[in-house]
Amino acid sequence: MKTAREEWKTSWTLPLAAGLGNTGSVIHIYTLGAFMAPLSAEFGWSRAEISSGITVSNSGSAVLGLLVGFLIDRFGPRRIGLVGAVLMAAAFAILGTANGSYTNWLALWFLISLAATCTQTTIWTSAVITRFNTSRGLAIALTIAVNGAAATLFPIIATLAINGLGWRHAFFAVAGGWILIVLPMLLLFFRGATEDPVRKERRKGVSASAHLPGLELKQALRTMAFYRLAITGGLFAFIAMSMIVHFVPILTDKGLNPLDAASVAGLVGLASVAGRFVTGYLLDRLRPERVALVGLSLPILSILLLLYGEGAMAWSAAAVIAGFSLGAELDVLIYLTSRHFGLKRFGTIFASIMMAMTAGTATGPLVAGSFFDTYGSYDNYLLMIIPMVVIAALSVGTLGPAPKDWPELPEPRPSH
């Protein structure tokens, strides 16, 4: 087995390239808050109507995610990721053609859903975990941490683009700048271990991941660990995405101007970077369930600060604490999935867990917007999600230890 130093020496560019690709799964989420005010001003849409685009995109991803997981296990993640990055840039840019029809808005977000399915986190992490074992937690952290930087930069970049170009051209500008940075890195450095033997194995009719250790999907579905991870993923995704999308509106309702609110919300991204690396480091050294229990409980403090704190200092602290906890979520779920179920069908198994997560991301922003539209405030929404945080943290925090190995499975037969 390679040491952590050896793993990083030979494969350090892979988590970086994968992390850049992974930002495609959130570019539409982290920027939408900046577009809410101009879209509402031009078309008269409510925040719930604007947020419903994410409901459409994440619902589509939930339905198609399992298919993508199967394709990852069958063909390897490289081809899926390259196609997905190009599709996401095109679909995000086309949002700038919205014509004021609510049906048209939902149709544009359906295109986003197709592209987002091909840029989901499963693709990027399924490559990384095949190259890293001893330092898997930290490698996952780097892959996901790039999204933290995106959470910081995307709202600010989108706001500046809107101020300088108008909201329509801002969609095209953000999409174009993103793909020009991401695509070369993917072409050069995004290649997991399953891509090494993939051509040889494909000629035999065997999936790319067949030689890796782990459980089949049907075996994973017979374990309680699978359902606990799915519950945690669904609830925490609901909390995370609703807070991310509505953090800027929450702060502007408290009196901050849009750019200041975007800057404070950007602290969520910065803190999530720290949260991911701290979590990844601890996952490689401590009981991961205990790391999860502490890390996923932190949003309670952030919520209390948003409800009862006053002034930019309290709201900035809320952003930092929320970001640190959000940084722990995906690291924990990916790490525990790979340890409990292995690598053989990681793409399919984690995509199944992500169906619960995408259901959470699809409904969270819509519910938060509906609470605001009904009560004229986000306070009742913030109170509602406190028990959801508790359930999510306990569900994964009380898991038993992962198995040290998996039952022997028959060698896969070539298909004809």
CATH number at residue 239: 1.20.1250.20
Residues 325, 334 contacting (CB under 8 angstroms): no
* Any domain includes 198: no
pLDDT tens across 205-250, in order? 555 555 666 687 888 888 888 999 999 999 988 988 888 778 888 8
pTM for the whole thing? 0.71
E strand or H helix that includes residue 292: helix 288-295
* Any domain includes 138: yes
* Any domain includes 315: yes
Provide the number of structural domains found in the chain. 1
Say whether pLDDT at 198 is over 50: no
**DSSP secondary structure letters along 58-74:** HHHHHHHHHHHHHHHHH
* Any domain includes 199: no
* Any domain includes 104: yes
Least Cα distance to 126 among 89, 71, 178, 62 occurs for: 71
For residue 104, how far is the Cα from the chain centroid?
A: 26
Domain that holds residue 80: 13-191+210-397
The pLDDT score that the predictor gives to residue 80 is 92
Q: Which amino acid is at 225?
A: A
The pLDDT score that the predictor gives to residue 210 is 54
* Any domain includes 8: no
The pLDDT score that the predictor gives to residue 5 is 84
* Any domain includes 415: no
pLDDT > 70: percent of the chain: 92
The pLDDT score that the predictor gives to residue 229 is 93
In whole angstroms, what is the distance from residue 81 CA to residue 92 CA?
A: 16
* Any domain includes 404: no
Least Cα distance to 205 among 414, 54, 403 occurs for: 414
Tally the residues of the chain. Answer: 416
pLDDT > 90: percent of the chain: 26
